[in-house]
Amino acid sequence: MLKRVCCLICILSSIILPIEVVAKDISTGSKKALSSTTTIFIANSTIDAVKKIALKYEKLYPLQKINIAHSGSGTLARQISEGAPAEIFISASKKWVDYLDEKKVLITDSIKPLPLKTSLILIAKKGIKNVTLDNFAEYLIKNNAKISLGDPKSVPAGAYTHEFLIKNKIFEKIKNNIVYVNAVRASLNYIKLGEADLAIVYSTDVLSIPNQYQYIATIASKDHSLIKYYIALVSENANATAAQFYNYLFTDDALKIYKEFGF
């Protein structure tokens, strides 16, 4: 127990330092990284960017490997609360880091916002005509069509979308036309497979698959809560190498990759 407490104190001491200082030390310091595998649970929408960051990190630190699991933030948070072996958690909303923090699962001082920005967009399968943000509800009802949305109970994109639908008095009109998914990017597959005609996803979700979907409109940010990503270390599993990758996610190298993927 004493050894465990000392280990966590060491991790915390590095986190409490200004992120910029710690990140600089990692990116410019010795490449003699500890040998370790770090498991990171991340919001589905961040997979492309984080995967590329992890690959670059592994080249810098060949003795370290990054394992990535991705799904809806709520699904991942519940798995972590039940003992899943994650060392780092990235959520697409603060709700799920707060959920884990209340359960004393996270190192509280490690909870930080990531500098990521995205927006909600309405998309359609190719070939659909005359659909707009103003009339998409009428289109769904008239054509008995389906719209794929993240489940607001576990998918932050779904929760933001639900706020938009409620605020604009659309939800009750289309609730029977909604197909819920457990991760925002699953909506893209529903359109691809013909199981939905429309979907609301993040703008960053479609960048990796250009020309496969039809952009309809961007949903105004005033119609939902601010989209914000958060990161934290999981207290039961985090170690010095996990803290090192955590800090790397704030470096200039990582920031350039986030921007490359639209964040």
Q: Calculate the average pLDDT of the chain.
A: 86
Looking at per-residue pLDDT, the higher value among 105 and 5 belongs to 105
Rounded CA-CA distance 206/45 in Å is: 10
Q: What is the mean pLDDT of residues 23-49?
A: 68
Handedness of CA 125, 49, 151, 93 (dihedral sign): negative
Q: Quick one: pLDDT at residue 236?
A: 78
What 3-state class would DSSP assign to 147? strand
pLDDT in tens, 192-235: 888 999 999 999 988 766 677 899 999 999 999 999 999 999 98
| Confidence check: pLDDT of 3 > 60 | no
Q: Is 141 within 8 Å of 172 (Cβ atoms)?
A: no
| Confidence check: pLDDT of 66 > 70 | yes
Q: Which CATH number fits domain 120-223: 3.40.190.10, 3.20.20.70, 3.30.300.30, 3.40.640.10?
A: 3.40.190.10
Q: Count helices and strands (H / E) in the chain.
A: 11, 10
Q: Quick one: pLDDT at residue 35?
A: 53
What 3-state class would DSSP assign to 57? helix
Q: What is the mean pLDDT of residues 138-151?
A: 96
Q: Which CATH number fits domain 2-116+229-260: 2.70.70.10, 3.40.50.720, 3.40.190.10, 3.10.129.10?
A: 3.40.190.10
